[in-house]
Amino acid sequence: MDDDFISSILSGDRRAIAKAISMIENEDSKISNIISEIYPKTGNAFVIGITGPPGTGKSTLINRLIEHYRKLDKKIGVIAIDPSSPITGGSLLGDRLRMSNHNLDPNVYIRSMSSGDKSGGLSRYTRRSLSILDASGLDIIIVESVGSGQSEVDILKITDAVVIVLMPELGDDIQIYKAGLMEVGDIFVVNKSDLDSSDQMYTKLLNASKIKNDKWMPQVVKTNSITGSGIDRLITSLSEREKFLTELSEQSLIHEHRIKNEILDVMLDDFSKSFSKKILNHPDFQNIVDQVLVKKMDPEQAAMILKKRLNYD
Protein backbone atom coordinates (compact mmCIF):
# COMPACT_ATOMS: atom_id res chain seq x y z
CA MET A 1 0.00 0.00 0.00
CA ASP A 2 2.85 2.39 0.83
CA ASP A 3 4.44 1.91 -2.59
CA ASP A 4 1.14 2.75 -4.22
CA PHE A 5 0.73 5.74 -1.99
CA ILE A 6 4.19 7.04 -2.84
CA SER A 7 3.72 6.60 -6.58
CA SER A 8 0.38 8.39 -6.31
CA ILE A 9 2.10 11.33 -4.62
CA LEU A 10 4.84 11.35 -7.25
CA SER A 11 2.30 11.27 -10.06
CA GLY A 12 0.59 14.34 -8.64
CA ASP A 13 -2.57 12.65 -7.40
CA ARG A 14 -4.35 15.37 -5.41
CA ARG A 15 -5.98 13.00 -2.94
CA ALA A 16 -2.64 11.39 -2.14
CA ILE A 17 -1.05 14.82 -1.71
CA ALA A 18 -3.87 15.96 0.56
CA LYS A 19 -3.55 12.80 2.63
CA ALA A 20 0.21 13.18 2.97
CA ILE A 21 -0.14 16.78 4.13
CA SER A 22 -2.80 15.75 6.64
CA MET A 23 -0.38 13.14 7.93
CA ILE A 24 2.19 15.90 8.36
CA GLU A 25 -0.34 18.04 10.23
CA ASN A 26 -1.30 15.17 12.49
CA GLU A 27 2.33 14.26 13.07
CA ASP A 28 1.65 10.72 11.89
CA SER A 29 4.68 8.55 12.63
CA LYS A 30 4.65 7.08 9.10
CA ILE A 31 5.36 10.44 7.50
CA SER A 32 9.15 10.37 8.01
CA ASN A 33 9.44 7.28 5.83
CA ILE A 34 7.25 8.81 3.17
CA ILE A 35 9.39 11.96 3.13
CA SER A 36 12.57 9.90 2.74
CA GLU A 37 11.04 7.96 -0.14
CA ILE A 38 9.99 11.04 -2.08
CA TYR A 39 12.98 13.24 -1.17
CA PRO A 40 15.16 12.22 -4.16
CA LYS A 41 12.42 13.58 -6.45
CA THR A 42 12.45 17.04 -4.91
CA GLY A 43 14.33 20.12 -6.06
CA ASN A 44 12.49 21.02 -9.25
CA ALA A 45 9.93 23.52 -8.04
CA PHE A 46 10.59 27.23 -7.79
CA VAL A 47 9.46 28.19 -4.29
CA ILE A 48 8.14 31.69 -3.70
CA GLY A 49 7.56 33.00 -0.17
CA ILE A 50 4.98 35.77 -0.02
CA THR A 51 4.69 37.64 3.22
CA GLY A 52 3.70 40.97 4.71
CA PRO A 53 1.44 42.54 7.31
CA PRO A 54 -2.23 41.51 7.47
CA GLY A 55 -4.45 42.80 4.71
CA THR A 56 -1.85 44.15 2.32
CA GLY A 57 -3.33 42.06 -0.49
CA LYS A 58 -1.11 38.97 -0.48
CA SER A 59 -3.89 36.51 -1.34
CA THR A 60 -5.30 38.76 -4.04
CA LEU A 61 -1.82 39.06 -5.51
CA ILE A 62 -1.28 35.30 -5.36
CA ASN A 63 -4.52 34.86 -7.24
CA ARG A 64 -3.05 37.02 -10.01
CA LEU A 65 0.16 34.99 -10.02
CA ILE A 66 -1.82 31.76 -10.30
CA GLU A 67 -3.68 33.20 -13.29
CA HIS A 68 -0.43 34.13 -14.96
CA TYR A 69 1.39 30.85 -14.35
CA ARG A 70 -1.62 28.84 -15.48
CA LYS A 71 -1.49 30.67 -18.80
CA LEU A 72 2.06 29.35 -19.14
CA ASP A 73 0.67 25.91 -18.29
CA LYS A 74 2.70 25.70 -15.08
CA LYS A 75 1.47 23.50 -12.28
CA ILE A 76 1.16 25.50 -9.11
CA GLY A 77 0.74 24.92 -5.39
CA VAL A 78 -0.10 27.33 -2.58
CA ILE A 79 0.38 26.81 1.14
CA ALA A 80 -1.35 29.58 3.06
CA ILE A 81 -0.27 29.82 6.66
CA ASP A 82 -2.92 31.48 8.72
CA PRO A 83 -1.83 33.14 11.94
CA SER A 84 -5.32 32.58 13.38
CA SER A 85 -5.09 35.85 15.23
CA PRO A 86 -8.31 37.50 16.35
CA ILE A 87 -7.72 40.28 13.82
CA THR A 88 -7.39 38.11 10.75
CA GLY A 89 -9.43 35.23 12.10
CA GLY A 90 -11.61 35.17 9.04
CA SER A 91 -8.89 35.13 6.45
CA LEU A 92 -8.84 31.36 5.86
CA LEU A 93 -12.31 31.64 4.51
CA GLY A 94 -11.33 34.81 2.69
CA ASP A 95 -8.38 33.09 1.07
CA ARG A 96 -10.57 30.26 -0.10
CA LEU A 97 -13.05 32.68 -1.58
CA ARG A 98 -10.38 34.80 -3.23
CA MET A 99 -8.69 31.81 -4.77
CA SER A 100 -11.87 29.83 -5.31
CA ASN A 101 -11.94 30.36 -9.05
CA HIS A 102 -8.90 28.10 -9.18
CA ASN A 103 -10.29 25.39 -6.94
CA LEU A 104 -11.58 23.31 -9.81
CA ASP A 105 -8.36 23.50 -11.79
CA PRO A 106 -6.58 20.14 -11.36
CA ASN A 107 -3.22 21.87 -11.85
CA VAL A 108 -3.67 24.21 -8.92
CA TYR A 109 -3.34 22.86 -5.41
CA ILE A 110 -4.26 25.19 -2.53
CA ARG A 111 -3.88 24.26 1.10
CA SER A 112 -4.42 26.41 4.16
CA MET A 113 -3.03 25.63 7.54
CA SER A 114 -3.27 27.25 10.92
CA SER A 115 -0.04 28.23 12.57
CA GLY A 116 -1.81 28.46 15.92
CA ASP A 117 -0.66 25.24 17.56
CA LYS A 118 2.53 24.76 15.58
CA SER A 119 4.69 27.65 16.70
CA GLY A 120 7.81 25.52 17.17
CA GLY A 121 7.34 23.06 14.35
CA LEU A 122 5.97 25.50 11.81
CA SER A 123 9.02 25.54 9.59
CA ARG A 124 9.27 21.77 9.79
CA TYR A 125 5.64 21.38 8.83
CA THR A 126 6.10 23.77 5.93
CA ARG A 127 9.29 22.13 4.75
CA ARG A 128 7.74 18.68 4.77
CA SER A 129 4.69 19.95 2.90
CA LEU A 130 6.97 21.67 0.39
CA SER A 131 8.82 18.40 -0.18
CA ILE A 132 5.55 16.60 -0.90
CA LEU A 133 4.34 19.30 -3.30
CA ASP A 134 7.74 19.56 -4.99
CA ALA A 135 8.04 15.80 -5.50
CA SER A 136 4.50 15.69 -6.86
CA GLY A 137 5.70 17.57 -9.91
CA LEU A 138 4.54 21.13 -9.30
CA ASP A 139 6.53 23.84 -11.09
CA ILE A 140 5.79 26.72 -8.74
CA ILE A 141 5.00 26.62 -5.05
CA ILE A 142 3.90 29.72 -3.16
CA VAL A 143 3.95 29.97 0.63
CA GLU A 144 1.80 32.77 2.01
CA SER A 145 2.44 33.92 5.58
CA VAL A 146 1.91 37.02 7.67
CA GLY A 147 5.55 37.03 8.63
CA SER A 148 5.21 38.39 12.10
CA GLY A 149 7.17 35.89 14.13
CA GLN A 150 10.60 34.31 14.03
CA SER A 151 9.24 30.96 12.90
CA GLU A 152 7.74 32.61 9.86
CA VAL A 153 10.98 34.36 9.04
CA ASP A 154 12.62 30.93 9.29
CA ILE A 155 10.22 29.58 6.69
CA LEU A 156 11.21 32.30 4.27
CA LYS A 157 14.81 31.15 4.45
CA ILE A 158 13.86 27.92 2.73
CA THR A 159 12.24 29.66 -0.23
CA ASP A 160 13.92 30.72 -3.48
CA ALA A 161 12.37 34.16 -3.65
CA VAL A 162 11.08 36.18 -0.73
CA VAL A 163 8.40 38.63 -1.76
CA ILE A 164 7.38 41.18 0.87
CA VAL A 165 4.00 42.71 0.19
CA LEU A 166 3.42 46.14 1.69
CA MET A 167 0.88 48.84 1.03
CA PRO A 168 0.78 52.63 1.40
CA GLU A 169 -0.16 54.10 4.74
CA LEU A 170 1.30 51.27 6.81
CA GLY A 171 3.50 53.65 8.75
CA ASP A 172 7.12 53.13 9.70
CA ASP A 173 6.60 51.42 12.96
CA ILE A 174 5.23 48.20 11.59
CA GLN A 175 5.92 44.71 12.81
CA ILE A 176 7.70 43.81 9.62
CA TYR A 177 10.66 46.04 10.39
CA LYS A 178 10.97 44.60 13.87
CA ALA A 179 10.73 40.98 12.79
CA GLY A 180 13.80 41.32 10.59
CA LEU A 181 11.79 40.73 7.46
CA MET A 182 13.26 43.62 5.51
CA GLU A 183 16.64 41.89 5.60
CA VAL A 184 15.36 38.72 3.96
CA GLY A 185 13.29 40.38 1.22
CA ASP A 186 14.31 39.75 -2.40
CA ILE A 187 11.40 41.59 -3.95
CA PHE A 188 9.36 44.33 -2.32
CA VAL A 189 5.85 44.95 -3.55
CA VAL A 190 3.99 48.18 -2.92
CA ASN A 191 0.50 46.81 -3.47
CA LYS A 192 -2.66 48.92 -3.59
CA SER A 193 -0.87 51.40 -5.80
CA ASP A 194 -4.28 53.03 -6.32
CA LEU A 195 -4.02 54.45 -2.79
CA ASP A 196 -2.38 57.78 -1.96
CA SER A 197 1.31 57.91 -1.13
CA SER A 198 2.22 54.71 -2.94
CA ASP A 199 4.87 56.67 -4.89
CA GLN A 200 6.52 57.87 -1.71
CA MET A 201 6.62 54.36 -0.34
CA TYR A 202 8.04 53.07 -3.60
CA THR A 203 10.86 55.63 -3.57
CA LYS A 204 11.61 54.98 0.06
CA LEU A 205 11.90 51.24 -0.50
CA LEU A 206 13.98 51.77 -3.59
CA ASN A 207 16.49 53.81 -1.61
CA ALA A 208 16.50 51.32 1.24
CA SER A 209 17.07 48.37 -1.09
CA LYS A 210 20.19 49.92 -2.60
CA ILE A 211 21.98 49.72 0.71
CA LYS A 212 22.01 45.94 0.77
CA ASN A 213 25.41 44.50 0.08
CA ASP A 214 24.50 41.33 -1.75
CA LYS A 215 24.88 39.96 -5.26
CA TRP A 216 21.14 40.07 -5.67
CA MET A 217 19.88 43.63 -5.69
CA PRO A 218 16.40 43.61 -4.10
CA GLN A 219 13.76 44.83 -6.50
CA VAL A 220 10.79 47.04 -5.81
CA VAL A 221 7.56 46.88 -7.77
CA LYS A 222 4.25 48.68 -7.56
CA THR A 223 1.09 46.67 -8.12
CA ASN A 224 -2.64 46.91 -8.02
CA SER A 225 -3.88 43.38 -7.47
CA ILE A 226 -7.46 44.33 -8.17
CA THR A 227 -6.85 45.66 -11.69
CA GLY A 228 -3.73 43.56 -12.26
CA SER A 229 -1.60 46.55 -13.09
CA GLY A 230 2.11 46.02 -12.34
CA ILE A 231 1.76 42.25 -12.01
CA ASP A 232 3.81 41.77 -15.16
CA ARG A 233 6.68 43.65 -13.47
CA LEU A 234 6.45 41.34 -10.49
CA ILE A 235 6.51 38.30 -12.79
CA THR A 236 9.61 39.68 -14.51
CA SER A 237 11.32 40.19 -11.16
CA LEU A 238 10.46 36.63 -10.16
CA SER A 239 11.87 35.26 -13.41
CA GLU A 240 15.03 37.30 -12.92
CA ARG A 241 15.37 35.92 -9.44
CA GLU A 242 14.97 32.36 -10.74
CA LYS A 243 17.57 32.97 -13.43
CA PHE A 244 19.92 34.56 -10.91
CA LEU A 245 19.76 31.48 -8.69
CA THR A 246 20.38 29.01 -11.50
CA GLU A 247 23.36 30.97 -12.78
CA LEU A 248 24.90 31.63 -9.40
CA SER A 249 28.34 30.12 -9.01
CA GLU A 250 27.88 29.61 -5.26
CA GLN A 251 24.67 27.69 -5.87
CA SER A 252 25.92 24.49 -4.29
CA LEU A 253 27.25 26.39 -1.29
CA ILE A 254 23.86 27.99 -0.75
CA HIS A 255 22.31 24.57 -1.02
CA GLU A 256 24.70 23.15 1.48
CA HIS A 257 24.05 26.01 3.87
CA ARG A 258 20.32 25.44 3.56
CA ILE A 259 20.67 21.74 4.26
CA LYS A 260 22.77 22.43 7.35
CA ASN A 261 20.08 24.77 8.63
CA GLU A 262 17.38 22.23 7.93
CA ILE A 263 19.14 19.50 9.87
CA LEU A 264 19.81 21.89 12.74
CA ASP A 265 16.21 23.04 12.73
CA VAL A 266 14.83 19.50 12.90
CA MET A 267 17.25 18.50 15.64
CA LEU A 268 16.56 21.56 17.76
CA ASP A 269 12.84 20.99 17.37
CA ASP A 270 13.20 17.37 18.49
CA PHE A 271 15.56 18.21 21.32
CA SER A 272 13.37 20.97 22.63
CA LYS A 273 10.37 18.64 22.71
CA SER A 274 12.12 15.73 24.38
CA PHE A 275 14.08 17.96 26.71
CA SER A 276 10.95 19.78 27.88
CA LYS A 277 9.46 16.41 28.72
CA LYS A 278 12.54 15.41 30.68
CA ILE A 279 12.50 18.62 32.69
CA LEU A 280 8.80 18.50 33.45
CA ASN A 281 8.97 14.83 34.48
CA HIS A 282 12.08 15.12 36.61
CA PRO A 283 11.33 13.83 40.14
CA ASP A 284 12.81 16.99 41.72
CA PHE A 285 10.99 19.41 39.46
CA GLN A 286 7.95 20.03 41.66
CA ASN A 287 10.07 20.45 44.74
CA ILE A 288 12.19 23.08 43.03
CA VAL A 289 9.11 24.90 41.79
CA ASP A 290 7.81 24.94 45.37
CA GLN A 291 11.02 26.51 46.55
CA VAL A 292 10.77 29.26 43.98
CA LEU A 293 7.16 29.77 45.03
CA VAL A 294 8.22 30.54 48.59
CA LYS A 295 11.15 32.59 47.28
CA LYS A 296 13.82 30.26 48.59
CA MET A 297 15.41 30.52 45.17
CA ASP A 298 14.80 32.39 41.95
CA PRO A 299 13.88 30.78 38.60
CA GLU A 300 17.44 31.12 37.28
CA GLN A 301 18.89 29.28 40.25
CA ALA A 302 16.17 26.68 39.79
CA ALA A 303 17.15 26.23 36.16
CA MET A 304 20.80 25.87 37.10
CA ILE A 305 20.08 23.19 39.68
CA LEU A 306 17.88 21.29 37.24
CA LYS A 307 20.55 21.50 34.59
CA LYS A 308 23.01 19.87 36.96
CA ARG A 309 20.57 17.16 37.98
CA LEU A 310 19.96 16.39 34.31
CA ASN A 311 23.73 16.22 33.78
CA TYR A 312 23.56 19.12 31.42
CA ASP A 313 25.98 21.95 32.05
Ligand X SMILES: Nc1nc2c(ncn2[C@@H]2O[C@H](COP(=O)(O)OP(=O)(O)OP(=O)(O)O)[C@@H](O)[C@H]2O)c(=O)[nH]1
The residue from 21, 38, 59, 115 that contacts ligand X (CB under 6 A) is 59
- The entry of Mg ion, ligand X, none that residue 57 binds, CB within 5 to 8 Å by partner kind: ligand X
Taking the complex as a whole, the smallest distance from the CB of residue 54 to Mg ion amounts, in Å, to: 8
- Asked if 59 touches Mg ion (CB under 5 A), the answer is yes
> Which positions from 214 to 253 touch ligand X by CB under 6 A, shown as an x/- string?
----------xxx---------------------------
How far apart are alpha carbons 237 and 206 in whole angstroms?
14
User: What type of residue is 1?
Assistant: M
Taking the complex as a whole, the smallest distance from the CB of residue 88 to Mg ion amounts, in Å, to: 8
Considering only residues 191-220, where is the footprint of ligand X by CB under 6 A? Answer: 191-192, 194-195
Across-strand partners of 219?
A: 187
Number of residues counted as binding ligand X (CB under 6 A): 19
Whether 148 and 24 have beta carbons less than 8 Å apart is answered as no
Burial of 4 (0-12, 13-18, 19+ CB in 10 A): exposed
The residue from 8, 42, 84, 88 that contacts ligand X (CB under 6 A) is 88
Whether 51 and 164 have beta carbons less than 8 Å apart is answered as yes
Across-strand partners of 78?
A: 110, 142
The residue from 48, 146, 176, 181 that contacts ligand X (CB under 6 A) is 146
> Cα separations (Å) of 73 from 65, 69, 127, 254, 292?
12, 6, 25, 29, 63
How far apart are alpha carbons 38 and 59 in whole angstroms?
29
- Residue 228 φ/ψ, nearest 5 degrees: 90, 5
Query: Which range of residues in 51-59, 131-139, 233-241, 275-283 is near ligand X by CB under 6 A?
Result: 51-59
> Which positions from 67 to 106 touch Mg ion by CB under 5 A, shown as an x/- string?
----------------------------x-----------
The footprint of ligand X (CB under 6 A) covers 54-60, 88, 91, 94, 98, 146, 191-192, 194-195, 224-226
The footprint of Mg ion (CB under 5 A) covers 58-59, 95
